[in-house]
Amino acid sequence: MYLVCFVVTLLLMKIAILHGPNLDRLGKREPEIYGRATLKDLEQLIRTEARKLGFSTVFFQSAHEGALVDKIHALTDRGIDAFIVNFGAYSHTSIALRDALSASGLPAVEVHISDIKQREKFRHKSMTAGACIAMISGQGFPGYVAALRQLAKL
């Protein structure tokens, strides 16, 4: 029985969900844009949907660009299978995060809770999306479920 459980665990696709600055403020920060649900609420939604798809998940949030780069490298080395990322404001400015995702060689889907094309002009372009297989913007929390489903098709 233990051997069967161990084998099943090895077969799960491992997805890392990385969040950048201010995502820890969900529920408090600009609720008219991001809603009142918290990052913990979002993680529970993702965890539940990921299990249905046969994925295991790991979550990380940081306001520090270097910490996010280091986490991408560490998770890649640990054998993660794919990423879902919302780097917040760093999406629009960070060549370092784009390079880290590219260097991982792993599929990534970028998610934005709000529609970046309907926000301030400086938010319209994502620097990091070019290292991803898809970008989902403006679907709120369900955008993360769509990202999981996109990865399930691989």
Per the CB < 8 A criterion, the answer to whether 61 and 23 are in contact is yes
1: in domain: no
Sheet holding 134-137, edge to edge: 55-61, 13-19, 82-86, 108-112, 134-137
67: in domain: yes
2: in domain: no
State the total domains in the chain: 1
Model pLDDT for residues 68-123, shown as the tens digit of each residue: 999 999 999 999 999 999 999 999 999 999 999 999 999 999 999 999 888 888 88
Q: What share of residues in the chain are helix, strand, coil (percent, to 5)?
A: 50, 20, 30
CATH assignment at residue 105: 3.40.50.9100
Model pLDDT for residues 50-80, shown as the tens digit of each residue: 999 999 999 999 999 999 999 999 999 999 9
90: in domain: yes
pLDDT at 9 over 60: no
Per annotation, catalytic residue among 19, 90, 92, 112: 112
- Alpha-carbon gap, residue 29 to 69, rounded angstroms: 24
Nearest CA among 38, 55, 42 for reference residue 143:
42
When comparing pLDDT for 73 and 1, which is higher?
73
Per annotation, catalytic residue among 34, 90, 92, 144: 34
Which of 14-18, 30-34, 38-42 has the least mean pLDDT? Answer: 30-34
3: in domain: no
The DSSP symbol for 116 reads G
- Return mean pLDDT, the chain: 92
131: in domain: yes
- Mark whether 90 is an active-site residue: no
pLDDT at 6: 45
pLDDT at 122: 81
7: in domain: no
Backbone φ and ψ of 59, nearest 5°: -120, 145
Per the CB < 8 A criterion, the answer to whether 106 and 83 are in contact is yes
Strands 108-112 and 13-19: unpaired
pLDDT-derived band of residue 11, with 50, 70 and 90 as boundaries? low
Q: Which amino acid is at 5?
A: C
Angle between the N-to-C axes of helices 65-77 and 95-104, in degrees from 0 to 180, rounded to the nearest 10: 0
Q: Which domain holds residue 75?
A: 12-152
Report the SS3 class of residue 113: coil
pLDDT at 129: 97
